[in-house]
Structure 1
Amino acid sequence: MAPRPDNRLLDAPMVPVSCEACGAQVEARKSSWEQTSIQWHAEGLRTCAERRDASRAERPAPFTGCRSLTTAIGQAALRGRIRVQSEEADTTDRPADGL
């Protein structure tokens, strides 16, 4: 049996989003309000202030994400710049904080 092709990006492509705190840009896609896919590129990795701060910490831990960028992506979804796939017609599950 051949693997099924993944057409998710055809139905809902990644959308560029910039962090309002430092300007780092990523591409994002939201399958639901709880699930976000983020594609980091080299320039965004270099630009992200939270990532830089995490790497300079006395005890660096793996970078798990940028809170400021997460907020920017949530706001982009609330404003309709990013389509939330699970919410095509129903907005009753939209979180108050947009994340």
Structure 2
Amino acid sequence: MALKRVYFRVHGTVQGVGFRYFTRNRAVEHAITGWVRNTENDKVEGEAQGEEDNVREFLRHVDKGPKHAHVCKLEQEEREVVDGEEGFEIRR
């Protein structure tokens, strides 16, 4: 199966609730590489890469978020696959 990469931006109550750590943990569970970070305008954004089914399942989790988050909207855009990427990092 082919690799897929998606940029995502999450709107709602997503900062101060452990969202980035939740996202990294779901990425590890689903063999996703990429990154996640808070934005200056109270959103969370990142890029996720992996097998298409894994990316879809990962984004399903991101659309719900951790227990104390409230996701209002999840934006997604396809991106070019990054060759040789390893791991999933939380960026500052």
TM-score, length-scaled by structure 1: 0.29
More helix by share: 1
More RCO (CA 8 Å, sep 6+): 2
More strand by share: 2
Q: Which has the larger radius of gyration?
A: 1
